[in-house]
């Protein structure tokens, strides 16, 4: 079975920071999203368009 490539810790940290930034932005904009679930694609797209 092929092994998945390992993700570098810095990559995970960057993703985590980006996720926190999107969640904070969404909260500030009045969106209601869970702190633990996946962020809806529509909110990620709106965040990206705003930045």
Say if 5 falls within a structural domain: no
pLDDT tens digits for range 1-51: 667 665 555 566 677 899 999 999 999 999 998 888 899 999 999 999 998
Say if 1 falls within a structural domain: no
Per-residue tokens: 50: 């705003």
For residue 37, what pLDDT is reported? 87
For residue 34, what pLDDT is reported? 87
For residue 36, what pLDDT is reported? 85
Say if 51 falls within a structural domain: yes
The answer, as to whether pTM is greater than 0.75, is no
Residue numbers of the domain that contains 38: 24-51
* Number of domains present in the structure of the chain: 1
For residue 30, what pLDDT is reported? 96
Q: Is 25 exposed, middle or buried (0-12, 13-18, 19+ CB in 10 A)?
A: middle
Say if 44 falls within a structural domain: yes
Say if 31 falls within a structural domain: yes
Say if 49 falls within a structural domain: yes
For residue 5, what pLDDT is reported? 62
């Amino acid at each position: 079975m092929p092994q998945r490539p390992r993700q570098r810790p810095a990559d995970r940290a960057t993703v985590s920071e980006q996720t926190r930034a999107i969640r904070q932005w969404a909260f500030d904009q009045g969106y209601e999203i869970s702190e633990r679930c996946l962020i809806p694609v529509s909110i990620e797209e709106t965040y990206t368009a705003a930045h």
